[in-house]
Chains A and B, each alone.
Chain A
Amino acid sequence: MSRRLCARRTEGVDKNIWVEFTKLAADYNAVNLGQGFPDFPPPKFVQDAFCEALRGGPMMHQYTRAFGHPRLVETLSRFFSRIVGHEIDPLEEILVTVGAYQALFSAFQALVDEGDEVIIVEPFFDCYQPMVRMAGGKAVYVPLRPKAAGGGAVLSSGDWVLNPEELRSKITPRTKAIVINTPNNPLGKVYKIEELQMIADLCIKHDMLCVSDEVYEWLTYDGAKHVKIASLPGMRERTITVGSAGKTFSATGWKVGWAMGSGKLIKRLKAMHQMSVFDCATAAQEAVAQGFEREYEVFGTPESYFLQLPAMLYHKRNKLAACLQSVGLQPIVPEGGYFIIADISSIKVDSRDLSTEDEPYDFKFVKWLIKEKGLATIPVSAFYSPGHSKEFDKYIRFCFVKEDSTLDAAEDILRNFIQ
């Protein structure tokens, strides 16, 4: 064909680190601390729920309600209404999506027009930027920066903060929305209420929307508390909150997520949803509904998976952080989430062993680590804007939501080549 084939909206968004690095990890059979998924199974009650859903009669295998399986939206409503302290309408204020990924896509497509600006806090889950771009919007970045560290103190994600003046300076009449992610991927920062209030004040003052990606909402450590920005005064009407069954129930392969927000905003996401996928798989939604029903009953008790999982991950986090520390890699201990990032500056790799492609140092390092040492991680500059990636190219990201045996294998590799 002689004519132009692909639509312009696909230009500049064709590279994807997950596609690239997952393949590499698989090709080299690496110990995989790269992509963020557990290598242990979902809790039994959730697996049982799925099997029960499959046995649940013919309608379990046919189309369900487009905007969310009734049992699921009702239980999400009940569960989260109790958390936020007000009624969330199951039919008007919740949209079930194919993973949080599709909730984000629907939000950007429904709310961002050509020429709109969207503020993204760096480091950011990489999909925000291409999604904003695909919607015709312009991404404007504001970085989290570490407070001046006391000499030798172990850094925590809590030490990375937004500068309010800097954030304010990014707002223009074209700013449509800000995207925040708490707990944050990759840094693990859990925004404190004062920080969210500062952002909320700006949203209200400048009439901006807020997309709040809270997929790791249950995973907080060291007493850090997850706060929903939508629960702050004046924010409910202007916030889309995104959640994930995959991260909640350690079942990333089910691809069930949701967007919650005011009816006016969710209505637009619904229009987008019915133009793109129309509805989501029934049985998976049924199983997630059962999972939440069970959690509703045991919430706050030791039985709750939402307490058990972070407790389990806390130990894994500490284990990996200690190992990284011991081999001279500087971890930034996360207050929440699935990941630890570590400074690799101290590791000397012969530059002849690294690829000659024009890419940031951490990309080259990660590829070398996969191919030569059999350990997969993710380069952190992938979570920065093109303009800033070269400044953050000495960090790599480790996922610690792995069996202890996987973490042990990773530790062996690190100890062997660094010492």
Chain B
Amino acid sequence: MNTARLVLNCTKFACYPANINCRRRLCTSQYMMSRHSHTKRIAGLDKNVWVAFTSVAADPSIVNLGQGFPDIPPPSYVKEALAKAASVDRMNQYTRGFGHPSLVKALSQVYGKVCERQIDPFKEILVTVGGYGSLFSTMQALVEEGDEVIIIEPFFDCYVPMVRMAGAKPVLIPLRLKPGKKQTITSADWYLDPDELSSKFNSRTKAIIINTPNNPIGKVFTREELQMIADLCIKHDTLCFSDEVYEWLVYRGHQHIKIATLPGMWDRTITIGSAGKTFSVTGWKLGWSVGPEHLIKHLQTVMQNTLYTCPTPLQEAVAQGLLLNLKMIDQPECYFSSLAEELEGKRDRMAAILQEAGMTPVIPEGGYFMLVDVTSLNQDLSHMDDDDAYDYKFVKWMIKEKKLAAIPVTAFVGDESKKQFEKYIRLCFIKQDSTLDAAEEILKNWSKI
């Protein structure tokens, strides 16, 4: 009752004279459009290569080696874990915002073992909506106007728009192909020039984003390369955002190194992982950020103001999957290694098919994409839209004429590097044998009209 009276007596509002609020303009929808235009933060960010190409490639008559998702089924125990989780009443309701307890504990165990350090499940981990959501939380938490963020080309296409959306300036540096003609090009032939990289750092550099294994090239950064990057981060006191969603997909002869484990790097690195890529369940959209408390807490702040929490049963299922594989981690049955083995075979098959067809693949050391140089095909595309880069034209032509979908690689680079990459297309090889068979058919018959 007392409170009600307080409310009635509350006079904390000012009275504006009526004419301030009087607009002598017609409320036509045209006027509405100009007054209610998009906010500055999304200006120019609506174009998106996935939105452009996925609907085209969704036509079932097209063999889709474009967007990076498996058409092979996930391991059955992961699906069963989800069915089991969903049957538990409590699992259908909200869980802990920063990550379902059983999942963050499982992540802490897996990464604790891999990194050989104690990782606090509640303070040093945030569960997000996919690796994508982790990238977004990281940018929103730690990057703002006045900052510069170094991005290595070719890059997963969302890095640049996310940096821009955070108000910062992307600074690009391309991987370069080592000179000298070789029989077989691999992703290891692409390198970062140390002097060039060093020149990109300055006092405004807030962070560098690295992606290893890299999408789209498939490069797995070596310890020496990561050390070079780490030295610069420490020298210039910058952060490092390490996108490691393909961390388990590393092929024979190569090793995935976590830059956060190098001396001086844990306190300045956010490492991003993905359940979707780990367990071939991209449609679950679960990922995580791992890092020191003083950084993760800001990502958690973003989380609690953006989507608050991720779906519960999915998190429970991923937790079960992780624990199961943790038990088998050094054994061949462990999905973390068995998937890589399966994919290595597909990688080699894909590469051979492409070489047969007269194209030049870049054999990846990791990940599930392969870059292909189409220069030697000499495909005439002069009849197509001049505004598009060559690879965009090539992919559109290939979808239409050959019924095979890929992704143009200039989607992953800035304007200045377009010429360097416009003869490359990206193919995804985490596909079942029948899909690869169909692709093989098309490529075998390439020269025939």
Contact = CB atoms under 8 A, between A and B. Distances in A.
B232 interface: no
Contacts of B4: 146, 149, 155
A16 B304 contact: yes
Contact of B42 (A16, A59, A204, A272): A272
A268 B38 CA distance: 6
Tell me what chain B mostly uses at the interface: helix, strand, loop, or mixed.
Answer: helix
Interface residues of A, number: 108
Interface string A204-242: 111101000000000000000000000000000110000
A166 interface: yes
B10 interface: yes
Contact of A279 (B32, B74, B285): B285
Contact of A7 (B86, B142, B282): B142
Interface stretch (B103-111, B293-301, B416-424, B438-446): B293-301
A42 to B, nearest CB: 5
Contact of A207 (B35, B51, B310): B35
Interface residues of B, number: 99
Contact of B7 (A7, A55, A391): A391
Interface string B69-103: 11111100001001100110111111111100000
Contacts of A9: 140, 144
B93 A37 contact: yes
Contacts of B36: 111, 176, 207, 209, 238, 264-265
Contacts, number: 276
Nearest to A394: B3
A169 B2 CA distance: 26
Given A2-B237, A281-B284, A169 B14 contact: yes
Contacts of B31: 207
B241 to A, nearest CB: 13
A407 interface: no
Interface in A255-302: 255, 264-265, 267-268, 270-272, 274-284
B143 A61 contact: no
A7 B143 contact: yes
A277 B33 contact: no
A62 interface: yes
A60 interface: yes
A14 to B, nearest CB: 5
Contact of A276 (B13, B82, B136): B136
A35 to B, nearest CB: 7
A176 B36 CA distance: 8
B73 A58 contact: yes
A312 interface: no
Interface stretch (A75-83, A95-103, A317-325, A364-372): A95-103
A205 B143 CA distance: 39
B94 A35 contact: yes
Contacts of B69: 62-63
B8 A148 contact: yes
A282 to B, nearest CB: 4
A7 B237 contact: no
Q: Which of A38, A50, A172, A173 has the most CB of B within 10 A?
A: A50
A51 B86 CA distance: 8
A122 B281 CA distance: 42
A277 to B, nearest CB: 4
Given A6-B142, A22-B96, A274-B48, A135 B301 contact: no
Interface in A5-25: 5-10, 13-14, 16, 18-19, 22
B39 A113 contact: yes
Given A60-B283, A109-B42, A206-B21, A40 B162 contact: no
B321 interface: no
Given A18-B97, A62-B283, A146-B7, A254 B311 contact: yes
Contacts of A2: 237
Contacts of A40: 89
B97 A391 contact: no
A98 B307 contact: yes
Contacts of B13: 142, 166, 169-170
Interface string B270-301: 00000000001111111000000011011001
Contacts of B92: 41-42, 47, 250-254
B46 A267 contact: yes
A281 B311 CA distance: 8
Contacts of A268: 38-39, 42
A282 B283 contact: yes
B75 to A, nearest CB: 10
Q: Which of B20, B27, B70 has the most CB of A within 10 A?
A: B27
A157 B312 CA distance: 33
B161 interface: yes
A206 B27 CA distance: 9
Contacts of A47: 86-87, 92
Contacts of B27: 204-205, 207
Contacts of A391: 3, 6-7, 10
A54 B83 contact: yes
Contacts of B2: 345, 394
Contact of A61 (B1, B21, B45, B79): B79
Nearest to A37: B93
Interface string B407-448: 000000000000000000000000000000000000000000
Q: Which of A60, A127, A134, A255 has the most CB of B within 10 A?
A: A255
Contacts of A127: 305, 308
A86 interface: no
Q: Which of B3, B6, B50 has the most CB of A within 10 A?
A: B3
Interface string A105-135: 1000111111000000000000100110011
29 contacts: A5-B295, A6-B298, A10-B298, A10-B301, A10-B302, A19-B97, A19-B98, A41-B92, A55-B83, A58-B74, A61-B283, A63-B67, A66-B50, A99-B307, A111-B39, A135-B39, A142-B13, A146-B8, A169-B16, A171-B16, A209-B36, A238-B32, A268-B38, A277-B129, A282-B283, A330-B1, A391-B6, A394-B2, A395-B3
Given A7-B144, A176-B36, A275-B42, 4 more contacts: A9-B140, A145-B10, A254-B312, A267-B46
Going nearest first, the 5 A-B pairs with the smallest beta carbon separation are A253-B312, A282-B283, A7-B144, A41-B89, A6-B298
